[in-house]
């Protein structure tokens, strides 16, 4: 057998073979639970609304459309993307149209300015409402299960998430909660240097340290291996300029 061993999503049993289909073993109990979950997912695929604590409806379809629109604006370099909202996952609505001129939270006039909110209070309230709605959709599954999707964790995994996607989703919502507690504050690493906490840059777009292009997802400092090697060569060239080696001559 080649590759990594997969586990059943319900009982945690090792799966035999090299198939890359659904992670379910062949036991009757797990197969029945998988069929039931699949049937419920098909029936509820159009039910995408929930009721937050403040009794204000929040449509997930609208949030997803705002996410797609925000990603498109960021790739095109739109003027409305003055802040780096990639970690926010698009929960923030796009910039207000000057013809509308209303705050997305309270409806106050924005006087023709390209803003999303009329104040930091409205910004924090909207982000808190999004976080409450997210937690309402992802209740605590209990011990031994993923904190995001609720899938049963294998016995060999001593973490709180079943994979990288759920871990990234939990990190994204934690960043939203941090911004909701202190809206409008700077989370730049240069501002918080030496504080002992790992902050994420959300005030400006992260760019490559070598060529200045926007960083693709998954890149921290350089946009490609070519830029990383070029930066390494520059560092080595600068090092050997200041640390010249002298050879001893013997007579």
Per residue in 56-82, pLDDT (tens digit) is: 555 666 766 776 776 666 666 544 444
Tally Cβ neighbours within 10 Å of residue 57.
Answer: 10
Q: What distance in Å separates the CA atoms of residue 140 and residue 138, rounded to the nearest whole number?
A: 7
**CA of residue 14 relative to chain centroid, distance:** 30
Q: What are the residue ranges spanned by the domains of the chain?
A: 1-47, 49-190+199-205
Kindly report the backbone phi and psi dihedral angles of residue 49, in degrees, each rounded to the nearest multiple of 5, phi listed first: -125, 150
Residues 157 and 147 sit within 8 Å (Cβ to Cβ): no
CA distances from 180 to 121, 122, 124, 144 (A): 9, 10, 4, 29
Q: What is the mean pLDDT of residues 87-107?
A: 58
CA distances from 176 to 2, 123, 183 (A): 40, 11, 10
Give the tokens for residue 229: 């090697």
Q: Is 102 helix (H, G, I), strand (E, B) or coil?
A: strand
In this prediction the pTM is 0.34
Q: Which residues lie below 8 Å from residue 210, measured CB to CB, with a gap of 6+?
A: 222, 223, 227, 228, 230, 231
Write down the mean pLDDT value for the chain.
Answer: 67
| pLDDT score for 174 | 83
Q: What distance in Å separates the CA atoms of residue 233 and residue 154, rounded to the nearest whole number?
A: 44
| pLDDT score for 2 | 46
CA distances from 5 to 18, 21, 135, 149, 160 (A): 8, 13, 32, 21, 19
| pLDDT score for 236 | 83
| pLDDT score for 83 | 44
Assess whether pLDDT exceeds 70 at residue 244.
Answer: no
| pLDDT score for 201 | 38
Of 167 and 47, more confident: 167
- Percent of the chain whose predicted confidence (pLDDT) is above 70: 54
User: Could you say which DSSP state residue 154 is in?
Assistant: P
The model's confidence at residue 42, banded by pLDDT at 50, 70 and 90, is low
Residue with tokens 């080649």: 2
């Amino acid at each position: 057998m080649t590759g990594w061993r997969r586990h059943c999503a319900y009982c945690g049993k090792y799966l035999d073979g090299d198939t890359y289909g659904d992670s379910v073993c062949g036991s009757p109990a797990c197969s029945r639970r998988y069929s039931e979950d699949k049937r419920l997912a098909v029936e509820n695929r159009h039910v995408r609304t929930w009721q937050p604590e403040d009794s204000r409806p929040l449509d997930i379809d609208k949030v997803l459309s705002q996410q797609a629109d925000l990603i498109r604006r960021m790739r095109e370099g739109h003027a409305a993307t003055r802040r780096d909202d990639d970690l926010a996952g698009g929960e923030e609505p796009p910039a207000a149209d000057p013809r509308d001129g209303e705050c997305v939270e309270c409806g106050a006039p924005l006087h023709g300015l390209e803003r999303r909110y009329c104040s930091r209070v409205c910004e924090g309230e909207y982000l808190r409402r999004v976080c409450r709605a997210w937690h309402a959709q992802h209740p605590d599954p209990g011990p031994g299960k993923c904190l995001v999707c609720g899938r049963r964790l294998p016995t060999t995994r001593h973490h709180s998430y079943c994979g990288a996607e759920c871990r990234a989703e939990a990190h994204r919502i934690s960043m939203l909660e941090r911004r909701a507690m202190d809206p409008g504050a700077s989370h730049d690493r240069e501002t918080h240097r030496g504080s002992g906490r790992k902050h994420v840059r959300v005030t400006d777009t992260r760019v490559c340290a070598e060529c200045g292009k926007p960083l693709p997802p998954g890149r921290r400092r350089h946009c490609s291996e070519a830029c990383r090697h070029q930066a390494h060569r520059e560092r080595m060239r600068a090092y050997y300029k200041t640390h010249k080696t002298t050879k001893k001559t013997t007579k």
